């Protein structure tokens, strides 16, 4: 949970990324499906459209503060 999921028109080209969601676990993500829409929880796995446009995921790093 907490990983950022990236979706692209052409998943092999990072410049075509057009959507980002946050993975919640158990095959679900939270996102705003389109501009102006409400944020909602949606299935990530089992959705052919999302799976086709899936470009990858990353976990945001936590930086330690310098003292």
Each residue of 9-28: pLDDT tens digit?
Answer: 999 999 999 999 999 999 99
Residue 23 Rama label (left phi>0; alpha psi -120 to 50; beta) = beta
pTM of the model as a whole? 0.83
- Give 65's pLDDT tier (boundaries 50, 70, 90): low
**36-51 per-position pLDDT tens digit:** 899 999 998 888 888 8
- Across the range 56-66, mean pLDDT stands at 82
In angstroms, what CA-CA distances link 58 with 2, 6, 20, 35, 44?
9, 9, 11, 23, 15
């Amino acid at each position: 949970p907490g990983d950022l999921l990236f979706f692209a028109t052409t998943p092999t080209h990072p410049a075509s990324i057009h959507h980002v969601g946050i993975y919640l676990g158990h095959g679900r993500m939270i996102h705003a499906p389109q501009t102006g829409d409400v944020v909602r929880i949606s299935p990530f796995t089992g959705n052919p459209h999302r799976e086709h446009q899936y470009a990858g995921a990353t976990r945001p790093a936590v930086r330690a503060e310098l003292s």
